Amino acid sequence: MINALRGMKDTLSPENEVYEYIIKTCTRIAQNYGFTLIETPILEETALFKRSVGESSDIVGKEMYQFTDKGGNDVCLRPEGTAGVVRAFIQQKYDKAGGTKRFFYHGPMFRYERPQKGRLRQFHQFGVESFGEADVREDATIILMLKAMFEALGIKYSLEINSLGCPACMPHYRSQLVRFLDSLEGLCEDCERRKLTNPIRVLDCKNEHCKMLLADAPLIVENLCVTCKEDFSTLKAILDQFDIQYSVNPKLVRGLDYYSKTAFEFVSSEIGAQSAIAGGGRYDRLVEFLEGKATPAIGFAMGIERLMDLVKMPEKTREGYYIGALCDEALPQVYTLVNSKRHEAKVLSSYEAKSLKNHLKIADKNDVKYCVCIGEDELSCGKIWIKDLESKEEKSIAIEEF
Ligand code: HAM
């Protein structure tokens, strides 16, 4: 027997109803904020992710589903959505056109990680990317939108924010951090490597000994330039104004290299070790880095599988019809009726004649609102029997009336 690959899974009803509900809810809210759907290919050139997510990141360094295709191209399954959206933004020449563009997307992402609860090799994200707006109020709006999504889904969260500075303050801070790191002895192998490739990633090392060594590390929030400092204060003031609880985590650096200024993560305490349910931030230099015209940008993505156990689903409402035949003679009429009624509503049926009791049982199990039956009596006088499964009211009506 052939099974799905490790870290990949099939989703079927009723799990899929939760998935669909998340997508529908987030889509509606994203549209209210002026975002429109974008779809980009699942397969992209490997170079796109090397240059955006960064060669020092675990995603590019260790986790890519990368291969050479039949034409000899170095390609990989997308590990995240931002890079593809930025590529499409530049390819459509939106960078040259100027103005703002706001997109949302959802779909599968692939990372060759060690599978565990909340961590899959094929998982799904819902994400948004906003281009052309440098105003920090856009950062706040993006966080407000995410808050609205989690509230609509009935999900509790805590929010951590940080500022990663800009080209004016980050390099200076980085040299200060490297000097501090050089003075330490006993950092883990990963940190020694990151010290050379992307030293700020050392700050979120999970190794307990490294954490202890880094207790007194210089922090970026204490070394921001005037503009970054002001923007970070404005962001916090807006979050306060809208009653959004947050904590500043000066060691929140995110696992992707493209961020600058605002970085944030929404975390749930109810799903175990893989607790990040959404993450994002500003990436003002990425468009230019991928050879587009410099364009400020910010976005986030949430991990749909991590949300699925947390969602409070609305109460199920009964919907549509179940139409059944009580005798073989009624089967042709039922078949015709079912297929004409499907133009306007959800209609379920059976190709076999059954007893009224059996039809009612199936109708009930499938959460339809009405059970309709046709038997010998109904056939002879051109009627149908119909029961409202909510109000329990039942009656016979002329077929034309139905
Ligand atoms: P990320 O933090 O790598 O950011 O992923 C976003 C979310 O995807 C995480 O918070 C988590 O919920 C989910 N996720 C990540 N890896 C897995 C996995 N292996 N299994 C299940 N869920 C997972 C990004 O991907 C950025 N592109 C977000 C962004 C958009 N930044 C700016 N714009």
> Is 211 contained in some domain?
no
pLDDT value of position 206: 87
Answer whether 389 contacts ligand 1 (Cβ < 6 A): no
pLDDT along the chain (402 residues), means of 10: 97 94 98 98 98 92 97 98 98 97 98 97 98 98 98 98 97 95 93 90 91 94 97 98 97 93 97 95 97 98 96 94 98 97 97 98 97 96 97 96 91
How far CA 225 is from CA of 220, 228, 230, 294, in Å, comes to 10, 5, 9, 21
> Is 25 contained in some domain?
yes
Q: Who contacts 293 (Cβ-Cβ below 8 Å, separation ≥6)?
A: 95, 96, 287
Q: Specify whether 291 is located in the same domain as 392.
A: no
> Is 377 contained in some domain?
yes
Structural domain for 382, as ranges: 321-398
Asked if residue 254 belongs to a known ligand binding site, the reply is yes
End-to-end CA, the chain:
48
CATH number of the domain that 99 lies in?
Answer: 3.30.930.10
Q: Among 11, 59, 109, which is best to mutate for testing ligand 1, by the most ligand atoms less than 8 A from CB?
A: 109
Q: Specify whether 258 is located in the same domain as 367.
A: no
Answer whether 111 contacts ligand 1 (Cβ < 6 A): yes
pLDDT value of position 56: 82
pLDDT value of position 246: 98
Contact in structure between 208 and 188 (CB atoms under 8 Å): no
Query: For the segment 249-259, what is each residue's pLDDT rounded down to a tens digit?
Result: 999 999 899 99
CA of 371 to the centre of ligand 1 (A): 44
CATH number of the domain that 340 lies in?
Answer: 3.40.50.800
pLDDT value of position 277: 98
Q: Specify whether 146 is located in the same domain as 235.
A: yes
d(C-alpha 221, C-alpha 250), whole Å: 6
Contact in structure between 140 and 239 (CB atoms under 8 Å): yes
> Is 316 contained in some domain?
no
pLDDT value of position 55: 87
Answer whether 81 contacts ligand 1 (Cβ < 6 A): yes
| Cβ-based neighbour number of residue 149 at 10 Å | 25
CA of 364 to the centre of ligand 1 (A): 40
d(C-alpha 355, C-alpha 391), whole Å: 22
Query: For the segment 331-379, what is each residue's pLDDT rounded down to a tens digit?
Result: 999 999 999 999 999 999 999 999 999 999 999 999 999 999 999 999 9
> Is 234 contained in some domain?
yes
> Is 195 contained in some domain?
no
Number of domains in the chain: 2
Asked if residue 173 belongs to a known ligand binding site, the reply is no
Answer whether 277 contacts ligand 1 (Cβ < 6 A): yes
DSSP 247-313: EE-TT---SSTT-EEEEEEEE-SSS-S--EEEEEEE-TTHHHHTTS----EEEEEEEHHHHHTT--P
Answer whether 162 contacts ligand 1 (Cβ < 6 A): no
> Is 360 contained in some domain?
yes
Domain boundary among 242, 277, 307: 307
Ligand 1 atom at minimum distance from 256 CA = 3
> Is 394 contained in some domain?
yes
